[in-house]
Amino acid sequence: MPFETSRRSFLGSLAAAGAAAPLLGALPATPHPAPQRILVLGGTGFLGPHFVRLARANGHTVTLFNRGKSNPGLFADIEQLRGDREKGELETLQGREFDVVVDTSGYVPAHVEATARLFAAKAKLYQFISTVSVYPGFGSGTETITEATPVGTVGDEDVAKVSTIRQSMPFYGPLKARCEAAAEAAMPGRTCVIRPGLIVGPGDPTDRFTWWPARIDQGGEVLAPGDPDGPVQFVDARDLAAWMLHCVEQSVVGVHNATGPAGSLSMHELLAACKCATTNPVTLVWASEEFLARNEVQPWMQMPLWIPREGRAMVDCSRAIAAGLRFRPVADTVRDTLAWVKAERAGKPFTTTGLPAERERELITKLRAPAGK
Q: How many CB atoms lie within 10 A of CB 264?
A: 16
**Cα 311 from Cα 355, distance rounded (Å):** 21
**Cα 103 from Cα 117, distance rounded (Å):** 13
Quick one: angle between helices 267-276 and 7-17, nearest 10? Answer: 130
Q: What is the pLDDT of residue 164?
A: 86
Q: What is the pLDDT of residue 56?
A: 97
**Cα 367 from Cα 222, distance rounded (Å):** 12
**Cα 362 from Cα 168, distance rounded (Å):** 38
162 touches 182 (CB < 8 A): no
Mean pLDDT of each 10-residue bin along the chain, 373 residues long:
38 38 45 88 95 97 94 92 95 97 96 97 97 86 88 91 87 96 98 97 93 96 95 97 98 97 94 97 97 95 92 92 97 97 84 94 94 55
Q: How many CB atoms lie within 10 A of CB 69?
A: 9
Q: What is the CA radius of gyration of the chain?
A: 22
Domain range annotation of the chain: 1-26+201-233+264-304+331-373, 32-196
Pairing type for strands 80-82 and 100-103 reads: unpaired
Q: What is the pLDDT of residue 25?
A: 43
257 φ/ψ angles, rounded to the nearest 5 degrees: -75, 145
Q: How many CB atoms lie within 10 A of CB 230?
A: 17
* Pick from 66, 117, 102: nearest CA to 87: 66
**Cα 143 from Cα 318, distance rounded (Å):** 16
Three-class secondary structure assignment of the chain: CCCCCCHHHHHHHHHHHCCCHHHHCCCCCCCCCCCCEEEEECCCCCHHHHHHHHHHHCCCEEEEEECCCCCCCCCCCCCEEECEHHHCECHHHCCCCCCEEEECCCCCHHHHHHHHHHCCCCCCEEEEECCHHHCCCCCCCCCCECCCCCCCCCCHHHHHCCCCHHHHHHHHHHHHHHHHHHHHHHCCCCEEEEEECCEECCCCCCCCCCHHHHHHHCCEEEEEECCCCCECCEEEHHHHHHHHHHHHHCCCCEEEEECECCCCCEHHHHHHHHHHCCCCCEEEEEECHHHHHHCCCCEECCEECCCCHHHCCCECCHHHHHCCCCCCCHHHHHHHHHHHHHHHCCCCCCCCCCCCHHHHHHHHHHHHCHHHC
60 touches 35 (CB < 8 A): yes
Q: What is the pLDDT of residue 7?
A: 38
**Cα 128 from Cα 100, distance rounded (Å):** 11
C-alpha distance across the termini of the chain, in Å: 9
**Cα 225 from Cα 301, distance rounded (Å):** 12
Answer yes or no: CATH 3.40.50.720 is held by domain 32-196: yes
187 touches 253 (CB < 8 A): no
Q: What is the pLDDT of residue 30?
A: 57
